[in-house]
Amino acid sequence: MSGLSQPHLLGIKNITRDDIELIFKTADNFKEVINRPIKKVPSLRDVTIANIFFENSTRTRLSFELAQKRLSADVVNFSASTSSVKKGETLLDTVNNILAMKVDMIVMRHASVGAPHFLAKHIKANIINAGDGTHEHPTQALLDAYSIREKLKAVKGKKVAIIGDILHSRVALSNIFALKKLGAEVLVCGPPTLLPKYIDQLGVNVEWNLLKALEWCDVANVLRIQLERQQIKYFPSLREYSLYYGITKKILDSLKKEIVLMHPGPINRGVELSSDAADSHHSIILDQVENGVAIRMAVMYLLAGAVS
Ligand code: CP
């Protein structure tokens, strides 16, 4: 097996364009596998993977678990809310105890920025970051870019607008890194209070006006307002946010061209997207979810053979 250039997937910032292309090529094969009547291959038969989630998740957690099962890996699931973390056990002790049971790979979601990077310095298993606080969500960015490649036949040269709560979004940062590595043009759009101060250093365009952003782009990747990470008020009300930044089918249909509508989920219907937009022919939201399984199969398959 020819693997990735490194033994972990901690973020998109530190992987190469070649790594991304290899993940996409491998995912093409696995996408074919998961659309067969028998969706399973024996590729990771001797590999044991622990999914350790310290934050809520629907898509990422189920997608990783299905991907592991499709690859014939042995899987254990850990949920912080029902674990001995509640009795005061540290992250490192928790993970070392899981590894003592002969686990080879850790998939971790954690609310703290850098938690998977910290683990990577202290343990021997492969680590995949399934989202660390407001920092990175690398497999989401990979499946997003892969879905653009599938829909528009290429990522290079495409104009992608990332719209919404950029400040608190790990999806935004990982998407910016991935899309730029693949040669796309990126624009971020949202209220000024929800754009990070360092945005100028990321080489992206900035637009506050939603209609202008939509008129510019080929793809709109719309993000949720992350109220759970907001300690202060960044805009007067959700109603006002929706008035200025909510995307409806009427707005999409009024554009002079077709654009592709994406969302990483979970959607707050009626806030950043109306239901008729989310469910319209513009949307590839459920294709993103389908592609997530193939992308995660590819990442775990390649990491199992990575140079360590
Ligand atoms: N896109 C995403 O990370 O969704 P979940 O929080 O449900 O995993």
Among 60, 263, 287, residue to substitute to test ligand 1 (most atoms within 8 Å of Cβ): 60
Atom of ligand 1 nearest to the CA of 61: 8
Spatial distance between the Cα atoms of 38 and 243, rounded to a whole number of angstroms: 47
Amino acid at 1: M
| CB-based contact 177:11 (threshold 8 Å) | yes
**Class level of CATH domain 138-288:** alpha beta
Ligand 1 centroid vs 64 CA: distance in angstroms?
A: 11
Spatial distance between the Cα atoms of 136 and 197, rounded to a whole number of angstroms: 17
**Class level of CATH domain 12-135+292-303:** alpha beta
Q: What's this model's pTM, rounded to 2 decimal places?
A: 0.96
pLDDT tens string, the chain, 308 residues long: the values are 558 989 999 999 999 999 999 999 999 999 999 999 999 999 999 999 999 999 999 999 999 999 999 999 999 999 888 888 888 999 999 999 999 999 999 999 999 999 999 999 999 999 999 999 999 999 999 999 999 999 999 999 999 999 999 999 999 999 999 999 999 999 999 999 999 999 999 999 999 999 999 999 999 999 999 877 777 788 889 999 999 999 999 999 999 999 999 999 999 999 999 999 999 999 999 999 999 999 999 999 999 985 44
Tell me which residues have their CB closer than 6 angstroms to ligand 1: 57-61, 131, 140, 264-266
Ligand 1 centroid vs 166 CA: distance in angstroms?
A: 16
Among 59, 223, 289, residue to substitute to test ligand 1 (most atoms within 8 Å of Cβ): 59
DSSP state at residue 273: B
Active site members: 59-60, 87, 109, 137
Spatial distance between the Cα atoms of 123 and 82, rounded to a whole number of angstroms: 23
Q: List 188's β-bridge partners, or say none.
A: 162, 206
Ligand 1 centroid vs 101 CA: distance in angstroms?
A: 28
Distance from chain centroid for Cα 174: 7
CATH 3.40.50.1370 residue ranges for the chain: 12-135+292-303, 138-288
Alpha-carbon dihedral angle through residues 85, 90, 91, 93, given to the nearest 10 degrees: -100
Spatial distance between the Cα atoms of 56 and 170, rounded to a whole number of angstroms: 15
Ligand 1 centroid vs 256 CA: distance in angstroms?
A: 32
